[in-house]
Structure 1
Amino acid sequence: MAEFKELNKSAIGARIRKRRELLGLSREELAEQLGVTAKFIGDIEYGEKGVSMKNLYRLKQILGVGADFLLEGAEDGISEEKEIKILQENIMGSLSVCSARQLGVMEQIARLYVEGIVLDEPLE
């Protein structure tokens, strides 16, 4: 006889939150796409509410992952290469509205971060 595995609502919610943030979606944006409130999304993300089969199906479509990733954390959710590409696109989108001065500061911050230098004072 098959064994029934109880699902961990907190872990499912954490995976939903991580994926939503990776995609650069706010709770409000995800809620609108799913047809629920932002509070409901927050309740799911913090394990206070479960996810119905209908919402699970929609979430996997919106978030671009398999149901097994959301339910069990299966590694096929997103590859590191794809995650890097999404993050790069999000960064480029954010930078597209910056002034030349702001871009210069961001470049300095990125270089310092890559070099492992801790900032004690704000950059000007």
Structure 2
Amino acid sequence: MTERMEIKDLNRVEMGKRIRERRELLKMSRDELARRLDVTSKFIADLEYGEKGASVKNLYRLKQILGVSVDYLMDGNPSNQNETEPRKMLNENIMGSLSVCNVKQLRVMEQIARLYIEGVVNNEEDSEE
């Protein structure tokens, strides 16, 4: 006997809240998000209030602009199910913040992360031994 998976409906209000939260976390105005998404500010407001849905094209763009997975936008599920909840949120926040950086800025952040890992993380591991 095969169990049937429960099919849920998309909750556009909750999806809109997640979009707004990510946009605000990135300190991005509705106008800025609208410009980057190539839509009107009114559409962004309607999306954030759950009054409108997003096309597949706009979902794909939103995931890139906001630095989160489509699963997170649509269902609130972070992309990596194996992480603890605080780690998931931190990962989403870091990736979201980096999503507004250009390539040059990302290279600098990569260098900072490597130096941090070499200097702090590796030293913590040495002190535990």
- Residues of 1 paired with 2:67 and 2:25: CA distance? 11
- % identical aligned pairs: 55
TM-score normalized by structure 2? 0.59
CA contact (8 A) 2:68 2:92 kept: no
- Runs of 4+ in structure 1 deviating by more than 2 angstroms, as ranges, are 1-5, 75-86
Q: Could you say what the CA RMSD is over the residues aligned between the two structures, in angstroms? A: 2.8
- How many equivalent pairs are there? 89
CA positional deviation for 1:82: 4.7
The equivalent of 1:61 in structure 2 is 64
Listed as ranges, the gaps of 5+ residues in structure 2 are 81-86, 98-129
The 1:85/1:12 distance shift into structure 2, 3 A limit, reads closer
The AA in structure 2 aligned to 1:8 is N
CA contact (8 A) 2:46 2:52 kept: yes
The equivalent of 1:72 in structure 2 is 75
Listed as ranges, the gaps of 5+ residues in structure 1 are 89-124
The 1:39/1:54 distance shift into structure 2, 3 A limit, reads same
* Residues 78-93 of structure 1 aligned to structure 2 (within 5 Å): 79-82=88-91
CA positional deviation for 1:6: 1.0
